[in-house]
Structure 1
Amino acid sequence: MDRPYGFPPAPELVIDLDKVAASYRALATGLPGVNVHFAMKCNPHPEILALLHALGCRFEIASAAELDALVAVGADPALVLSSNPVKPAAHIARQFAAGVRCFAFDSESELDKLAVAAPGAAVFVRLAAHQIRSGVPSEGKFGVGVDAAAALMLAARGRGLVPCGAAFHVGSQMLLPHAWRAPLRAVGALMYKLAAEDVFLQMVNLGGGFPARYAGKTPTLAEYWATIDAGLQDLPYRVAAVCEPGRALVAEAGRLRATVIGTAERGGRRWAHLDVGAFNGLMESLETGNQLRFPVSDSRGSATRDRFHLTGPTCDSQDTIMFDVELSADLRTGDEVYLECAGAYTTVYASRFNGFDVPVVRCVTGVAIETSDDAAYCG
């Protein structure tokens, strides 16, 4: 498909809202009895938030601005979890004033802020998760051990807060269902310790980490639920369970359309330079050392194939997406490249580094992405 110069003004991220709905229903069904709270940080587009709210999904936030976006689509702040363990005091106050009543913490310093800015609020302690490498490693910044968590929950009670639950996060894009086993055992140990002090938990937060289907094999949701259900059954008493998925709800709904701005051969390797790269839409390429493999195709669709290194438009050598991607051998400037499973952590990380455009977002419903040129832009 030959195209003249004068490309589209920006790469385009197309979100299939029907796929978002299907992913939510699959997760809610596959984790029976677990309240799903969308981790909106991975894609807070208003149409996605409105759709999930209409389906009965709840939400998790890290800031007051995220809460504002939820209020705008009609979400009830009383059902929102404020799960960032360290929050600016002003954000706590704004969230509490708006109706948020459940906050995460993992330090005495955070308890001091919560006691003043959210008096009488329910709080849940963040436990450190057993270190198992996930597809997008993200753990290590937050969380404490069982003994420290017990002491913090008692300190919360002493400050007039309500110690209500425990949380953990196994890491993003976790491909090992057994990763939930050790953290749930830690929750059980915490429950035993607190029961001796007449403190009983009401909730366990299973975090996120449920994977999307990029290139490669992904365990079934039933495999995750088997481990999680067994862990919940082994707790000393029944508690409500919640989870905070992000990419599992939106990643597979997104197709990123990029344009080839140039090709080159260097050292026997073929390179395809796109108008979108790590800094203006695909930061997770850098976060994973280029190991996150987006399914890729191109508009030329030739039977003869070759391998390319896909790289972005900036002058920074780190701005590379994936190595050794199979595409049409005759790929050339002006052709389009399509990256699937791109609905999570794309536009939220994007910057205009070097002056290049971030992706335009277009939401579609009731039509296939391939034939959605006439769909209206959202937002």
Structure 2
Amino acid sequence: MDRHDGPPPAPELVIDLDRVAAAFRTLTAGLPGVNVHFAMKSNPHPEILALLHALGCRFEIASATELDALLAIGADPAQVLSSNPVKPIAHIARQHAAGVWRFAFDSEDELDKLAAAAPGAAVLVRLAAHQIRSGVPSEGKFGVDVDAAVTLMLAARERGLRPYGAAFHVGSQMLLPHAWRAPLRAVAYVMNKLAAENVFLHMVNLGGGFPARYAGRTPPMTDYWATIGAGLAQLPYPVAAVCEPGRALVAEAGRLRANVIGTAVRGGRRWAHLDVGAFNGLMESLETGNQLRFPASDSRGSARRDRFHLTGPTCDSQDTIMFDVELSADLRTGDQVYLDGTGAYTTVYASRFNGFDVPAVRCVTGVAIETSDNAAYCG
């Protein structure tokens, strides 16, 4: 049957659960003694959550709704971190009632809410991270300087809360392992200042930011541990260490299959329009100014190659995924384009803008998905 006869298959995101498990084992081996709490915002698919729970992974949430998904798989709320520094008071109350007892904050207003809705809870102050540009810049919204952090922790004690720890986040897709150096020095400063006030912390939250492989290699986990391990060793006294990876655990497990719905030549450049774009699955294309490069291949696999601008199905010109992507020169309507590294922050951001469907999600095990090793890295 000709590829243009009949409707094309619906766009689909396939998640290789074996790769999720392998990523978890790699991360935990690379960060010895650091408890991993999956940032479920990156991909809260129930099968992913259940797998990670079975492997002994813990979780980090931003809302009571995310906690509901964890309760559904039997996760222990006492092992969950509530890391959103600003939360609706109703969400605080629901989380606390369910058994969550550790909450991040970075303001006196949040302390007032926590004291009212989660009396006696343990709190982690969010520090502003040293500004080093990450692959997916995400910092700047939260965090305070070290002296403000000390003041806030003493204020927490006055409100009957437990000053429990310090947290920071260096930015998503961080390719510079030394980015953790300055924040850990800041944590040490806060710990020393609080110790003088007879307040001793129990935890440092290293945040997320550990990268996935997109259009190139990432530093080995040993490089990250060299910085993190040294920083932890230099703290004034031992504390528990946790991290909150999302992308690093699920991104490389995903392959997005999209259909070519049209091609065109404009201004001498070739365009391929797909039935999945920035607004219904690939919002990080916009967030990064089209700098995040998903390894791409296509169903034709032709030896003759050409470069295409990949764009989505909507009538918005911003709905463009990547520029100058090498694909089969004879790519046409009805073909499929495969985008690897799409297991994180895809369907969770998706909307039905202009009425186009979001990709279906299918999890698989025991089936090797041909991923980036066989795709074109576009840089």
TM-score of the superposed pair, with normalisation by structure 2: 0.97
Note if contact 1:104-1:123 (Cα within 8 Å) is conserved in structure 2: yes
Instruction: Deviation per CA, 1:161-201: give whole Å up to 9, x if none.
Output: 00000000000000110100000000000001000000001
Query: Which residue in 2 is equivalent to 1:377?
Result: none
Note if contact 2:4-2:333 (Cα within 8 Å) is conserved in structure 1: no
Alpha-carbon offset, residue 87 of structure 1: 0.2
- Does 2:364 align with 1:357? no
SS in 2 for 1:13: strand
Alpha-carbon offset, residue 33 of structure 1: 0.1
Alpha-carbon offset, residue 21 of structure 1: 0.4
Note if contact 1:2-1:334 (Cα within 8 Å) is conserved in structure 2: no
- Does 2:293 align with 1:298? no
Tell me how far apart the structure 2 counterparts of residues 186 and 98 of structure 1 sit (CA, whole Å). 33
Q: Tell me, which stretches of 5 or more residues in structure 2 are unaligned?
A: 372-379
Equivalent runs, 1:18-167 vs 2, <5 Å: 18-167=18-167
Alpha-carbon offset, residue 216 of structure 1: 1.6
Alpha-carbon offset, residue 7 of structure 1: 3.3
Alpha-carbon offset, residue 218 of structure 1: 1.1
How many matched pairs? 371
Tell me how far apart the structure 1 counterparts of residues 120 and 176 of structure 2 sit (CA, whole Å). 38
Instruction: Deviation per CA, 1:128-186: give whole Å up to 9, x if none.
Output: 00010000000000000000000000000000000000000000000110100000000
Give me the identity figure in percent. 86
- Does 2:296 align with 1:289? no
Alpha-carbon offset, residue 4 of structure 1: 2.0
Detail structure 1 runs of 4+ shifted over 4 Å in the superposition: none
Amino acid at match of 1:198: N
Tell me how far apart the structure 2 counterparts of residues 57 and 174 of structure 1 sit (CA, whole Å). 22
Q: Tell me, which stretches of 5 or more residues in structure 1 are unaligned?
A: 372-379
Tell me how far apart the structure 2 counterparts of residues 212 and 61 of structure 1 sit (CA, whole Å). 21
Change (3 A) 1:2 1:181: farther
Note if contact 1:273-1:312 (Cα within 8 Å) is conserved in structure 2: yes
Instruction: Deviation per CA, 1:197-243: give whole Å up to 9, x if none.
Output: 00001000000000000012211111111010011011111110000
TM-score of the superposed pair, with normalisation by structure 1: 0.97
Tell me how far apart the structure 2 counterparts of residues 134 and 369 of structure 1 sit (CA, whole Å). 28
Alpha-carbon offset, residue 368 of structure 1: 1.9
Query: Which residue in 1 is equivalent to 2:321?
Result: 321
Tell me how far apart the structure 2 counterparts of residues 25 and 116 of structure 1 sit (CA, whole Å). 39
Change (3 A) 1:176 1:2: farther
Note if contact 1:43-1:250 (Cα within 8 Å) is conserved in structure 2: yes
Instruction: Deviation per CA, 1:269-316: give whole Å up to 9, x if none.
Output: 000000000000000000000000000000000000000000000000
Equivalent runs, 1:240-259 vs 2, <5 Å: 240-259=240-259
CA RMSD of aligned residues (A): 1.1
Query: Which residue in 2 is equivalent to 1:216?
Result: 216
